[in-house]
Chain A
Amino acid sequence: MLRFEGLEVTVGAHRVTADFACKAPGLCAVIGPSGAGKSTLLLATAGFLAPEAGRILIDGADVTGHAPGDRPLSVLFQEGNLFPHLDAFRNVALGLSTAGRVSAEERSKVADVLRRVGLAGKEHRAPAALSGGEQSRVALARVLVQDRPVVLLDEPFAALGPALRSEMLELVSATLAAAGKLVLLVTHDPDDALRFADQTVFIDGGRAAGPTATRALFANPPPALAAYLRN
């Protein structure tokens, strides 16, 4: 479970407040107009922005002051999710261990996950030798081996085009959500929320309103969401 308690984050002139909880498992979409603070909320959750006030709790533990790598979560950004100088195998293995040697157990784990995302036989390709969709799969594979209870996705598939994006989101549902994770998905496309998210958080004017069942929310949108959906 991911809980925000009186959270306030400021970036420049923008301020985002959040006071709600999302329950695992499942996919929770974060939607709202651009500049509303979707990414700000995610960056604060991941530990890249320090909040002015409030706490962030994951499964009951306060992680507000923790370094990004020490939080029980994985995160994928819009870009830069892979080291370009490391091959697919190593990029995934870094999710398990930062030591040079990979144990036989870790090796088979990485190979297994790469197979599950459809990259068998491409372990030793550099990211530049993979297509955009395949690169996203490598990043997703790393999230899978990390095996953290919360996964933050900041539009990581935005550059892929509609068909590939749907395919990736299906894969996310089939792997992460099915494994009992809580996935927080920032998206600019309300359709993504409708198709994949059981719950949706709507951010407008710097205020993140707690998650609502997606279908109910879209069937009966509050005025701000209705205005956003009309555009």
Chain B
Amino acid sequence: MARRAQPIAAWGAAAFVAALTLLPLAVVAWRAGGAFALGAGDLAAIRFTLLQAVLSALVSVGLAIPLARALARRRFPGRRLLITLLGAPFIVPVIVAVLGLLAIYGRSGLLSLGAGALGFGWPGIYGITGVVLAHVFFNLPLATRLILHGWLEIPAERFRLAASLGLDPRDIFRELEWPMLRAVVPGAAMLIFLICTTSFAVALTLGGGPRATTVELAIYQAFLFEFDLGRAAVLATIQFAITGAAAALALALARQAVLGAGLDRPVTRWDAARPALRVQDSTVIVLGALFLILPLGAIVLRGLPNLIGLPESVYLAAARSCFVAVLSAALTILAALALAHGARRARGFEAVGYLGIAASPLVIGTGLFLLLFPLADPARLALPVTIAVNAALSLPFALRALAPALAEVEARHGRLADALALTGWARWRWMILPRLRRPIGFAAGIAAAFSLGDLGVIALFADAENATLPLQIYRLMAAYRMEDAAGAALLLLALALAAFWLCDRGGRADAAV
């Protein structure tokens, strides 16, 4: 039988992930100690974290259902483009989207101007409105993709049968669509709830104050304003309890997640030919598209005039971000390949890679800070720590793309490789890497874009000397230098899109076989 070397690389990758997820957790729990009292502010933070996550999940899913239905049963020019656009939130940095949303819904945004012209006041979106709005901006597309996938999984013959029986839309909803929604929607809502409990950058930029502080934001403030590491550790433990419970629930409810293609074919729906339904679907599609496009368009329009003549600090931060993104993406791919390979001997290796899903950046950051603070100046470690943490956080996505692909390569070509004694590096070189180009490119693109846009751990560690571009943009916003912030945001958006495009293209080039 084929001898296989011990998966040393897989053990190394597993140790890497554990050092970045489990170890910080242990440190946080140890530092938090046994007994601690929660203040009124802490309880408010817990309440707000749960409330905004519930609202974000409900609104995202509630709006996604009509949008997914309209996309499932209509053909129109630009449908493909719109569905591609639904993947954009995986790539658009949070801080960029926040600036775009402010440009539309903010106190000096587009809607505010319209309201002012009509003589109304405009409240702006800081606080819970903004937090939920930003979360919906990111998760409505995700929910739409998940639910659309469910819709397209209903066999076309059933709709044909329904049409031949003359069922009206209400019957079809009850018989075909409701059972699908009941299966898909809870998992989608729980996944979004989970994502929203760990989203730090949105709370940092749009939340704040006693009424809109999440636990993650409270951790950050405990660091920054009070340097109260004990309190940060207590809050981090609470945060972990929330995400851990949410992750367990999400996992229990999860159906197959959708990253890739397969959403291209609309189903012919005879029942949907009624004019009223046409108008309804068209309205939903137009509104959905505008909701996604307007903020991004605003970034481009506001950023373009400010792109030239940005402060030097922005370009330095951009260079740092690119450096971080390249290394982080490389680390992600190496770890994902090692774990996917190791998982062929022991499934546990793949499970380890998914630890990052339940990890929150601020909890990891707190743990690593506690761990490293006595040893070295955290600011000097800001970039290495960010590179490693970003890699651990994008690892689940990469693994999701690479592990099944690797298993398929081995299933299809492994026998030939065994017959030719392709072992070790030769097997990677002649079989695995060439066959995995596409998923590697895709995963590297996602990891690079995620790392470019990340505003999490870096906020705890960095000082003015080593800020990344998202952190620099946040600082410009905090200093009310909105023109520079808009220009820098456009630069960041362009970098993130370019990084994804380059990696994804690289994986596709002459890979026609």
- Which residues of A are at the interface with B, using a C-beta cutoff of 8 A? 46-48, 50, 65, 67-70, 74-75, 77, 80-86, 90, 94-95, 98-100, 126-128
Contacts and interface: CB of A to CB of B under 8 A. Distances in A.
Contact of A50 (B1, B430, B431): B1
Contact of B421 (A48, A70, A81, A127): A70
A13 B418 CA distance: 25
Contacts of A82: 416
Contacts of B1: 47, 50, 65, 67
B513 interface: yes
B481 interface: no
Contact of A69 (B422, B434, B435, B511): B422
Given A67-B2, A69-B423, A94-B430, A83 B418 contact: no
Nearest to B429: A100
Interface centre among B1, B423, B435 (most CB of A within 10 A): B1
A83 B413 contact: yes
Contacts of A65: 1
Contact of A128 (B416, B423, B513): B513
Nearest to A74: B419
A69 B416 CA distance: 9
A150 B100 CA distance: 69
A48 B430 contact: no
Contacts of B174: none
Interface in B1-55: 1-3
Contact of A126 (B413, B429, B513): B513
Interface residues of B, number: 22
Given A50-B1, A126-B513, A128-B513, A67 B418 contact: yes
B413 A80 contact: yes
B426 interface: yes
A205 to B, nearest CB: 27
B513 A77 contact: no
Contacts of A68: 2, 415, 418-419, 421
A83 B421 contact: no
B415 A94 contact: no
The A interface is mostly helix, strand or loop, or mixed, namely loop
B420 interface: yes
Interface in B481-513: 511-513
B170 interface: no
13 contacts: A46-B419, A47-B418, A48-B415, A50-B1, A69-B421, A69-B422, A77-B415, A80-B416, A81-B416, A83-B434, A94-B420, A94-B430, A98-B422
Nearest to A49: B1
A77 B419 CA distance: 10
A94 B418 contact: no
Contacts of B511: 85
Contacts of B416: 77, 80-83
A70 B422 CA distance: 10
Given A48-B415, A77-B415, A86-B434, A69 B513 contact: no
Interface in B387-422: 412-413, 415-416, 418-422
Interface centre among B420, B430, B434 (most CB of A within 10 A): B420
A22 B3 CA distance: 28
A92 to B, nearest CB: 11
A97 B344 CA distance: 26
Contacts of A99: 426
A100 B422 CA distance: 12
B406 to A, nearest CB: 15
Nearest to B433: A85
Contact of A67 (B412, B413, B421, B426): B421
A199 B436 CA distance: 44
A79 to B, nearest CB: 10
B3 to A, nearest CB: 6
Given A80-B415, A85-B434, A69 B429 contact: no
A85 B435 contact: yes
Contacts of A77: 415-416
Contact of A83 (B2, B3, B431, B512): B431
Contacts of A90: 430
Nearest to A99: B426
A74 B413 CA distance: 16
Contacts of A48: 415, 418
A128 B421 CA distance: 24
A69 B430 contact: no
Contacts of B422: 69, 94, 98
Interface centre among A48, A74, A77, A98 (most CB of B within 10 A): A98
Given A80-B413, A100-B429, 17 more contacts: A47-B1, A47-B418, A67-B1, A68-B415, A68-B418, A69-B422, A74-B419, A77-B416, A80-B412, A83-B431, A84-B513, A85-B434, A86-B430, A86-B434, A98-B426, A98-B429, A128-B513
Interface string B293-335: 0000000000000000000000000000000000000000000
Given A83-B430, A98-B430, A128-B513, A69 B412 contact: no
Nearest to B425: A98
Contacts of B513: 84-85, 126-128
3 tightest Cβ-Cβ pairs between the two chains A and B = A69-B421, A98-B426, A85-B434
Nearest to A81: B416
Interface in B245-259: none
A90 to B, nearest CB: 8
A86 to B, nearest CB: 7
A7 B27 CA distance: 58
A68 B426 CA distance: 15
Interface centre among A65, A85, A95, A100 (most CB of B within 10 A): A85
A95 B420 contact: yes
A73 B511 CA distance: 32
B345 to A, nearest CB: 16
B71 to A, nearest CB: 34
Interface centre among B2, B423, B429 (most CB of A within 10 A): B2
Contacts of A80: 412-413, 415-416
A7 to B, nearest CB: 16
Contacts of B419: 46, 68-69, 74-75
